Structure 1
Amino acid sequence: MEARHLRYALALAEHGHFGRAAASLGIAQPPLSKQIADLEREVGALLFRRTGRGVFPTAAGEALLARARTVIAELDAVQGDVGRAARGESGELRLGFVASALIDLLPALLGRFGAERPRVRLRLEERSTAECVAAITKGALDVIVTRGAPQGLGAEQLRSIIVGQDDLVALVSRNHPLAGTGALARERLRGLTLITAPSEEEPVSATTLPNLQPGRIIYARDVHTIAGLAACGVGIGLAPVCVRRVIRPDVRVLDIEPRISLPPLVLSFHGDGDHSPVLDAFLSIVRT
Protein backbone atom coordinates (compact mmCIF):
# COMPACT_ATOMS: atom_id res chain seq x y z
CA MET A 1 0.00 0.00 0.00
CA GLU A 2 1.41 3.37 -1.02
CA ALA A 3 0.45 6.93 -0.14
CA ARG A 4 -0.91 7.46 -3.65
CA HIS A 5 -3.42 4.62 -3.11
CA LEU A 6 -4.74 6.45 -0.05
CA ARG A 7 -4.92 9.75 -1.95
CA TYR A 8 -6.85 8.03 -4.75
CA ALA A 9 -9.32 6.56 -2.26
CA LEU A 10 -9.83 9.93 -0.59
CA ALA A 11 -10.40 11.63 -3.93
CA LEU A 12 -12.95 8.98 -4.96
CA ALA A 13 -14.81 9.32 -1.67
CA GLU A 14 -14.88 13.10 -2.03
CA HIS A 15 -16.19 13.17 -5.62
CA GLY A 16 -18.27 9.97 -5.60
CA HIS A 17 -17.45 9.44 -9.26
CA PHE A 18 -14.45 7.84 -10.96
CA GLY A 19 -14.30 10.37 -13.78
CA ARG A 20 -14.44 13.46 -11.56
CA ALA A 21 -11.99 11.94 -9.06
CA ALA A 22 -9.54 11.08 -11.85
CA ALA A 23 -9.79 14.64 -13.22
CA SER A 24 -9.06 16.10 -9.79
CA LEU A 25 -5.98 13.88 -9.52
CA GLY A 26 -4.77 14.72 -13.02
CA ILE A 27 -4.90 11.10 -14.25
CA ALA A 28 -7.16 9.14 -16.60
CA GLN A 29 -10.12 7.18 -15.27
CA PRO A 30 -8.90 3.64 -16.18
CA PRO A 31 -5.68 3.88 -14.12
CA LEU A 32 -7.72 5.16 -11.16
CA SER A 33 -10.19 2.28 -11.44
CA LYS A 34 -7.28 -0.18 -11.58
CA GLN A 35 -5.52 1.35 -8.56
CA ILE A 36 -8.69 1.21 -6.46
CA ALA A 37 -9.25 -2.42 -7.50
CA ASP A 38 -5.63 -3.23 -6.59
CA LEU A 39 -6.14 -1.57 -3.19
CA GLU A 40 -9.28 -3.60 -2.53
CA ARG A 41 -7.43 -6.83 -3.37
CA GLU A 42 -4.58 -5.85 -1.08
CA VAL A 43 -6.80 -5.15 1.95
CA GLY A 44 -9.10 -8.07 1.11
CA ALA A 45 -12.34 -6.07 1.26
CA LEU A 46 -14.67 -4.12 -0.98
CA LEU A 47 -14.04 -0.46 -0.25
CA PHE A 48 -16.54 1.23 -2.59
CA ARG A 49 -20.01 0.35 -3.87
CA ARG A 50 -20.45 1.16 -7.55
CA THR A 51 -24.06 2.20 -8.21
CA GLY A 52 -25.96 4.07 -10.86
CA ARG A 53 -26.18 7.03 -8.49
CA GLY A 54 -22.46 7.18 -7.87
CA VAL A 55 -19.65 5.54 -5.91
CA PHE A 56 -19.99 5.25 -2.11
CA PRO A 57 -17.63 3.93 0.61
CA THR A 58 -18.54 0.64 2.27
CA ALA A 59 -18.07 0.12 6.02
CA ALA A 60 -14.58 -1.21 5.26
CA GLY A 61 -14.01 1.80 3.04
CA GLU A 62 -15.03 4.21 5.81
CA ALA A 63 -12.53 2.52 8.15
CA LEU A 64 -9.77 2.86 5.59
CA LEU A 65 -10.66 6.48 4.81
CA ALA A 66 -10.54 7.47 8.50
CA ARG A 67 -6.98 6.17 8.74
CA ALA A 68 -6.06 7.52 5.33
CA ARG A 69 -6.97 11.07 6.34
CA THR A 70 -4.67 10.85 9.35
CA VAL A 71 -1.82 9.30 7.37
CA ILE A 72 -2.03 11.80 4.52
CA ALA A 73 -2.24 14.73 6.94
CA GLU A 74 0.93 13.47 8.67
CA LEU A 75 2.71 13.00 5.35
CA ASP A 76 1.75 16.51 4.28
CA ALA A 77 3.00 17.83 7.63
CA VAL A 78 6.30 15.98 7.17
CA GLN A 79 6.73 17.48 3.71
CA GLY A 80 5.97 20.93 5.08
CA ASP A 81 8.42 20.55 7.96
CA VAL A 82 11.16 19.24 5.68
CA GLY A 83 10.62 22.06 3.20
CA ARG A 84 10.73 24.75 5.87
CA ALA A 85 13.89 23.27 7.37
CA ALA A 86 15.56 23.07 3.95
CA ARG A 87 14.70 26.72 3.30
CA GLY A 88 15.98 27.83 6.71
CA GLU A 89 12.47 28.73 7.88
CA SER A 90 12.61 26.46 10.94
CA GLY A 91 15.27 25.04 13.21
CA GLU A 92 17.59 26.73 15.70
CA LEU A 93 20.22 29.46 15.55
CA ARG A 94 22.77 29.59 18.38
CA LEU A 95 24.28 33.06 18.69
CA GLY A 96 26.89 34.23 21.17
CA PHE A 97 27.70 37.91 21.56
CA VAL A 98 29.48 40.51 23.67
CA ALA A 99 27.26 42.92 25.60
CA SER A 100 27.88 46.00 23.46
CA ALA A 101 26.53 44.19 20.37
CA LEU A 102 23.10 44.49 21.99
CA ILE A 103 23.21 48.28 21.89
CA ASP A 104 23.24 48.94 18.17
CA LEU A 105 23.85 45.90 15.97
CA LEU A 106 21.68 43.06 17.24
CA PRO A 107 18.32 44.77 17.85
CA ALA A 108 17.84 45.61 14.18
CA LEU A 109 19.44 42.40 12.93
CA LEU A 110 17.50 40.01 15.16
CA GLY A 111 14.31 42.01 14.75
CA ARG A 112 14.42 41.54 10.98
CA PHE A 113 15.48 37.90 11.23
CA GLY A 114 12.67 37.13 13.67
CA ALA A 115 10.12 38.83 11.43
CA GLU A 116 11.26 36.89 8.36
CA ARG A 117 11.88 33.55 10.12
CA PRO A 118 9.34 33.36 12.97
CA ARG A 119 9.60 29.56 13.23
CA VAL A 120 13.33 29.63 13.95
CA ARG A 121 14.27 29.19 17.62
CA LEU A 122 16.89 31.70 18.76
CA ARG A 123 19.31 30.63 21.47
CA LEU A 124 21.08 33.80 22.52
CA GLU A 125 24.03 33.81 24.92
CA GLU A 126 25.89 36.86 26.19
CA ARG A 127 29.53 35.88 26.67
CA SER A 128 32.96 37.41 26.65
CA THR A 129 34.93 37.41 23.40
CA ALA A 130 37.14 34.55 24.60
CA GLU A 131 34.12 32.51 25.71
CA CYS A 132 32.38 33.06 22.36
CA VAL A 133 35.44 31.85 20.46
CA ALA A 134 35.85 28.79 22.67
CA ALA A 135 32.18 27.87 22.31
CA ILE A 136 32.00 28.17 18.52
CA THR A 137 35.21 26.20 17.98
CA LYS A 138 33.71 23.38 20.10
CA GLY A 139 30.52 23.44 18.04
CA ALA A 140 28.34 24.87 20.82
CA LEU A 141 27.47 28.03 18.84
CA ASP A 142 26.71 28.68 15.18
CA VAL A 143 27.74 32.33 14.97
CA ILE A 144 29.36 34.85 17.30
CA VAL A 145 29.78 38.62 17.57
CA THR A 146 32.98 39.58 19.36
CA ARG A 147 35.06 42.66 20.06
CA GLY A 148 38.00 42.15 17.75
CA ALA A 149 38.80 39.20 15.51
CA PRO A 150 38.72 35.75 17.16
CA GLN A 151 42.04 34.51 18.41
CA GLY A 152 43.30 31.28 19.89
CA LEU A 153 42.99 27.59 19.10
CA GLY A 154 40.53 26.95 16.28
CA ALA A 155 40.11 30.62 15.33
CA GLU A 156 41.82 29.98 11.99
CA GLN A 157 38.83 27.84 10.99
CA LEU A 158 36.43 30.77 11.32
CA ARG A 159 35.41 33.30 8.72
CA SER A 160 35.05 36.80 10.16
CA ILE A 161 33.28 39.93 8.96
CA ILE A 162 33.57 43.41 10.51
CA VAL A 163 30.04 44.55 11.39
CA GLY A 164 30.67 47.59 13.60
CA GLN A 165 33.28 50.15 14.53
CA ASP A 166 33.49 52.15 17.77
CA ASP A 167 35.63 54.78 19.38
CA LEU A 168 36.08 55.11 23.11
CA VAL A 169 34.12 57.79 24.99
CA ALA A 170 34.19 58.97 28.58
CA LEU A 171 31.18 58.77 30.93
CA VAL A 172 30.91 61.14 33.88
CA SER A 173 28.25 62.02 36.41
CA ARG A 174 26.21 65.10 35.47
CA ASN A 175 27.64 66.75 38.60
CA HIS A 176 31.24 65.93 37.69
CA PRO A 177 33.53 68.95 37.10
CA LEU A 178 34.14 67.68 33.57
CA ALA A 179 30.44 67.27 32.74
CA GLY A 180 30.26 70.57 30.88
CA THR A 181 33.28 69.83 28.73
CA GLY A 182 32.46 69.42 25.04
CA ALA A 183 35.35 67.07 24.40
CA LEU A 184 37.81 65.63 26.86
CA ALA A 185 41.52 65.80 26.13
CA ARG A 186 43.11 62.41 26.61
CA GLU A 187 45.76 63.90 28.89
CA ARG A 188 43.11 64.94 31.43
CA LEU A 189 42.42 61.27 32.22
CA ARG A 190 45.87 60.76 33.67
CA GLY A 191 45.92 60.04 37.37
CA LEU A 192 42.10 59.66 37.56
CA THR A 193 40.01 56.63 38.51
CA LEU A 194 38.79 54.97 35.30
CA ILE A 195 35.98 52.44 35.02
CA THR A 196 36.17 50.01 32.12
CA ALA A 197 35.40 46.47 31.10
CA PRO A 198 38.10 43.84 31.57
CA SER A 199 39.98 43.05 28.37
CA GLU A 200 38.33 39.65 27.94
CA GLU A 201 34.90 41.34 27.89
CA GLU A 202 35.32 44.52 25.83
CA PRO A 203 39.03 44.84 25.09
CA VAL A 204 40.58 48.24 24.92
CA SER A 205 43.87 47.91 23.02
CA ALA A 206 46.66 46.58 25.17
CA THR A 207 48.42 49.94 25.16
CA THR A 208 45.43 52.23 25.73
CA LEU A 209 45.08 52.09 29.51
CA PRO A 210 48.82 52.25 30.27
CA ASN A 211 49.11 55.26 27.94
CA LEU A 212 46.29 56.98 29.81
CA GLN A 213 48.24 56.48 33.06
CA PRO A 214 45.18 56.13 35.31
CA GLY A 215 45.46 56.51 39.03
CA ARG A 216 43.20 53.48 39.54
CA ILE A 217 41.18 51.11 37.35
CA ILE A 218 37.78 49.70 38.30
CA TYR A 219 36.59 46.83 36.14
CA ALA A 220 32.90 46.33 35.34
CA ARG A 221 31.37 43.66 33.08
CA ASP A 222 29.15 45.74 30.79
CA VAL A 223 28.37 49.30 29.70
CA HIS A 224 25.32 49.59 31.95
CA THR A 225 27.42 48.87 35.04
CA ILE A 226 30.12 51.24 33.83
CA ALA A 227 27.53 53.99 33.36
CA GLY A 228 25.99 53.28 36.76
CA LEU A 229 29.32 53.53 38.55
CA ALA A 230 30.12 56.74 36.67
CA ALA A 231 26.75 58.15 37.79
CA CYS A 232 27.74 57.38 41.38
CA GLY A 233 30.82 59.55 40.94
CA VAL A 234 33.33 56.82 41.73
CA GLY A 235 35.29 57.44 38.53
CA ILE A 236 35.19 58.16 34.83
CA GLY A 237 33.70 55.42 32.68
CA LEU A 238 35.22 54.31 29.41
CA ALA A 239 32.83 52.68 26.92
CA PRO A 240 32.16 52.30 23.18
CA VAL A 241 30.58 55.35 21.53
CA CYS A 242 27.44 53.28 20.80
CA VAL A 243 26.63 53.69 24.51
CA ARG A 244 25.01 57.02 23.54
CA ARG A 245 21.94 55.04 22.44
CA VAL A 246 21.22 53.72 25.94
CA ILE A 247 22.83 56.22 28.28
CA ARG A 248 21.01 57.15 31.47
CA PRO A 249 19.95 60.78 32.11
CA ASP A 250 22.31 61.29 35.04
CA VAL A 251 25.41 60.57 32.95
CA ARG A 252 27.18 62.77 30.42
CA VAL A 253 29.04 61.31 27.42
CA LEU A 254 32.25 63.06 26.39
CA ASP A 255 34.27 62.48 23.23
CA ILE A 256 37.95 61.86 23.85
CA GLU A 257 40.48 63.87 21.86
CA PRO A 258 42.45 62.56 20.07
CA ARG A 259 40.19 59.62 19.30
CA ILE A 260 40.85 56.16 20.72
CA SER A 261 39.63 53.44 18.37
CA LEU A 262 38.35 50.19 19.80
CA PRO A 263 38.73 46.82 18.09
CA PRO A 264 35.77 46.43 15.71
CA LEU A 265 32.71 44.30 16.31
CA VAL A 266 33.30 41.13 14.33
CA LEU A 267 30.77 38.48 13.29
CA SER A 268 32.31 35.03 12.87
CA PHE A 269 31.15 31.59 11.75
CA HIS A 270 32.76 28.41 10.50
CA GLY A 271 34.33 29.00 7.11
CA ASP A 272 34.01 25.47 5.71
CA GLY A 273 30.78 26.35 3.87
CA ASP A 274 28.88 23.45 5.44
CA HIS A 275 26.27 25.69 7.05
CA SER A 276 22.77 24.93 8.17
CA PRO A 277 20.03 26.57 6.09
CA VAL A 278 19.13 28.64 9.17
CA LEU A 279 22.65 30.06 9.41
CA ASP A 280 22.68 30.75 5.67
CA ALA A 281 19.40 32.67 6.06
CA PHE A 282 20.86 34.67 8.97
CA LEU A 283 24.03 35.50 7.04
CA SER A 284 21.93 36.63 4.09
CA ILE A 285 20.22 39.20 6.35
CA VAL A 286 23.61 40.25 7.73
CA ARG A 287 24.83 40.90 4.18
CA THR A 288 21.68 42.89 3.41
Structure 2
Amino acid sequence: MDFLINKKLKIFITLMETGSFSIATSVLYITRTPLSRVISDLERELKQRLFIRKNGTLIPTEFAQTIYRKVKSHYIFLHALEQEIGPTGKTKQLEIIFDEIYPESLKNLIIFSTEHFRPENKYNGESR
Protein backbone atom coordinates (compact mmCIF):
# COMPACT_ATOMS: atom_id res chain seq x y z
CA MET A 1 0.00 0.00 0.00
CA ASP A 2 2.67 2.51 1.07
CA PHE A 3 0.69 5.73 1.03
CA LEU A 4 2.29 6.91 4.29
CA ILE A 5 5.74 5.39 3.87
CA ASN A 6 8.23 7.07 1.58
CA LYS A 7 9.73 4.78 -1.08
CA LYS A 8 13.27 5.82 -0.13
CA LEU A 9 12.64 4.96 3.51
CA LYS A 10 11.23 1.56 2.61
CA ILE A 11 14.26 0.78 0.44
CA PHE A 12 16.70 1.97 3.12
CA ILE A 13 15.00 -0.12 5.84
CA THR A 14 14.89 -3.19 3.58
CA LEU A 15 18.59 -2.87 2.71
CA MET A 16 19.49 -2.45 6.37
CA GLU A 17 17.53 -5.57 7.27
CA THR A 18 18.63 -7.78 4.38
CA GLY A 19 22.21 -6.58 3.96
CA SER A 20 22.05 -7.41 0.29
CA PHE A 21 20.95 -5.75 -2.92
CA SER A 22 19.95 -9.14 -4.34
CA ILE A 23 17.68 -10.04 -1.44
CA ALA A 24 16.23 -6.52 -1.28
CA THR A 25 15.31 -6.63 -4.98
CA SER A 26 13.34 -9.82 -4.35
CA VAL A 27 11.61 -8.42 -1.28
CA LEU A 28 10.70 -5.13 -2.96
CA TYR A 29 9.96 -6.53 -6.44
CA ILE A 30 12.23 -4.04 -8.17
CA THR A 31 15.43 -4.37 -10.12
CA ARG A 32 18.88 -3.51 -8.82
CA THR A 33 19.25 -0.32 -10.90
CA PRO A 34 16.47 1.74 -9.26
CA LEU A 35 17.46 0.36 -5.87
CA SER A 36 21.05 1.51 -6.33
CA ARG A 37 19.86 4.85 -7.68
CA VAL A 38 17.70 5.49 -4.60
CA ILE A 39 20.61 4.76 -2.26
CA SER A 40 22.95 6.96 -4.31
CA ASP A 41 20.36 9.75 -4.24
CA LEU A 42 19.95 9.39 -0.48
CA GLU A 43 23.70 9.48 0.06
CA ARG A 44 23.96 12.60 -2.07
CA GLU A 45 21.03 14.30 -0.28
CA LEU A 46 22.38 13.42 3.16
CA LYS A 47 25.99 14.13 2.16
CA GLN A 48 26.97 10.94 3.96
CA ARG A 49 27.77 7.44 2.84
CA LEU A 50 25.19 4.89 4.01
CA PHE A 51 26.74 1.60 2.93
CA ILE A 52 30.12 0.19 2.12
CA ARG A 53 29.81 -2.28 -0.71
CA LYS A 54 32.16 -5.21 -0.15
CA ASN A 55 32.18 -8.64 -1.82
CA GLY A 56 28.51 -8.47 -2.79
CA THR A 57 27.34 -7.46 0.67
CA LEU A 58 26.40 -4.15 2.16
CA ILE A 59 28.03 -2.99 5.34
CA PRO A 60 26.06 -0.14 6.91
CA THR A 61 28.10 2.82 8.05
CA GLU A 62 27.76 4.18 11.57
CA PHE A 63 25.65 6.98 10.08
CA ALA A 64 23.27 4.45 8.47
CA GLN A 65 22.98 2.52 11.74
CA THR A 66 22.11 5.72 13.59
CA ILE A 67 19.43 6.66 11.07
CA TYR A 68 18.03 3.12 11.15
CA ARG A 69 17.72 3.13 14.95
CA LYS A 70 15.94 6.49 14.86
CA VAL A 71 13.47 5.76 12.05
CA LYS A 72 12.67 2.06 12.55
CA SER A 73 10.02 2.60 15.24
CA HIS A 74 8.35 5.30 13.13
CA TYR A 75 8.43 2.98 10.12
CA ILE A 76 6.74 0.20 12.11
CA PHE A 77 4.09 2.63 13.36
CA LEU A 78 3.34 3.97 9.86
CA HIS A 79 3.20 0.47 8.42
CA ALA A 80 0.72 -0.62 11.10
CA LEU A 81 -1.35 2.52 10.52
CA GLU A 82 -1.45 1.82 6.78
CA GLN A 83 -2.73 -1.67 7.49
CA GLU A 84 -5.37 -0.33 9.88
CA ILE A 85 -6.74 2.43 7.68
CA GLY A 86 -5.96 0.74 4.37
CA PRO A 87 -8.46 -0.40 1.78
CA THR A 88 -12.04 -0.04 2.89
CA GLY A 89 -13.22 -3.04 0.97
CA LYS A 90 -13.65 -1.05 -2.20
CA THR A 91 -11.74 -2.52 -5.07
CA LYS A 92 -10.81 -0.85 -8.27
CA GLN A 93 -11.31 -2.59 -11.54
CA LEU A 94 -9.36 -2.01 -14.67
CA GLU A 95 -10.81 -3.33 -17.86
CA ILE A 96 -8.45 -3.96 -20.74
CA ILE A 97 -10.10 -4.69 -24.05
CA PHE A 98 -7.96 -6.30 -26.70
CA ASP A 99 -8.91 -5.67 -30.30
CA GLU A 100 -8.98 -8.81 -32.41
CA ILE A 101 -6.03 -7.54 -34.45
CA TYR A 102 -3.93 -7.19 -31.28
CA PRO A 103 -1.09 -9.74 -31.36
CA GLU A 104 -1.98 -12.76 -29.22
CA SER A 105 1.54 -13.01 -27.80
CA LEU A 106 1.43 -9.41 -26.55
CA LYS A 107 -2.01 -9.96 -25.04
CA ASN A 108 -0.73 -13.06 -23.23
CA LEU A 109 2.31 -11.16 -21.96
CA ILE A 110 0.12 -8.41 -20.49
CA ILE A 111 -2.18 -10.94 -18.84
CA PHE A 112 0.75 -12.91 -17.42
CA SER A 113 2.50 -9.77 -16.13
CA THR A 114 -0.63 -8.47 -14.48
CA GLU A 115 -1.37 -11.74 -12.71
CA HIS A 116 2.26 -12.49 -11.86
CA PHE A 117 3.18 -9.14 -10.30
CA ARG A 118 -0.21 -8.53 -8.69
CA PRO A 119 -1.68 -11.94 -7.77
CA GLU A 120 -4.94 -10.32 -6.72
CA ASN A 121 -5.51 -9.36 -10.38
CA LYS A 122 -7.13 -12.06 -12.42
CA TYR A 123 -7.99 -12.28 -16.09
CA ASN A 124 -11.62 -13.26 -16.41
CA GLY A 125 -11.11 -14.93 -19.77
CA GLU A 126 -13.67 -12.90 -21.65
CA SER A 127 -12.91 -11.88 -25.18
CA ARG A 128 -14.72 -9.28 -27.17
Band the TM-score falls in, shorter-chain normalisation? 0.5 to 0.7
Greater per-residue strand proportion? 1
Following TM superposition, the consecutive aligned residue runs of length 4 or more in structure 1 with deviations greater than 3 angstroms are none
Q: Is residue 78 of structure 2 the alignment partner of residue 57 of structure 1?
A: no
Q: The residue matched to 1:46 in structure 2 has which SS?
A: coil
Q: Which residue of 1 aligns with 2:85?
A: 82
Q: Is residue 13 of structure 2 the alignment partner of residue 13 of structure 1?
A: no
Separation (CA, whole Å) in 2 of partners of 1:75 and 1:7: 11
Gaps of 5+ in 2: 90-128
Task: Calculate percent identity across the aligned residue pairs.
Answer: 29
Could you give the per-residue CA deviations for residues 203-250 of structure 1, whole angstroms, max 9, x where no partner exists?
A: xxxxxxxxxxxxxxxxxxxxxxxxxxxxxxxxxxxxxxxxxxxxxxxx
Separation (CA, whole Å) in 2 of partners of 1:53 and 1:32: 14
Separation (CA, whole Å) in 1 of partners of 2:43 and 2:25: 17
The 5 Å alignment of 1:26-175 reads 26-52=29-55, 54-83=57-86, 86=88
Gaps of 5+ in 1: 88-288
Aligned length: 85
Conserved? CA contact 1:17–1:54, under 8 Å: yes
Q: The residue matched to 1:33 in structure 2 has which SS?
A: helix
Larger radius of gyration: 1
Structure 2 vs 1, CA of residues 41 and 25 (structure 1 numbering), >3 Å: closer, same or farther?
same
| TM-score, L = length of structure 1 | 0.28
For the aligned residues, what is the CA RMSD?
Answer: 2.0
Separation (CA, whole Å) in 2 of partners of 1:61 and 1:49: 10
Q: Which residue of 2 aligns with 1:263?
A: none
Separation (CA, whole Å) in 2 of partners of 1:83 and 1:51: 39
Separation (CA, whole Å) in 2 of partners of 1:4 and 1:83: 17
Could you give the per-residue CA deviations for residues 1-40 of structure 1, whole angstroms, max 9, x where no partner exists?
A: x721111111112222212211211000011000011011
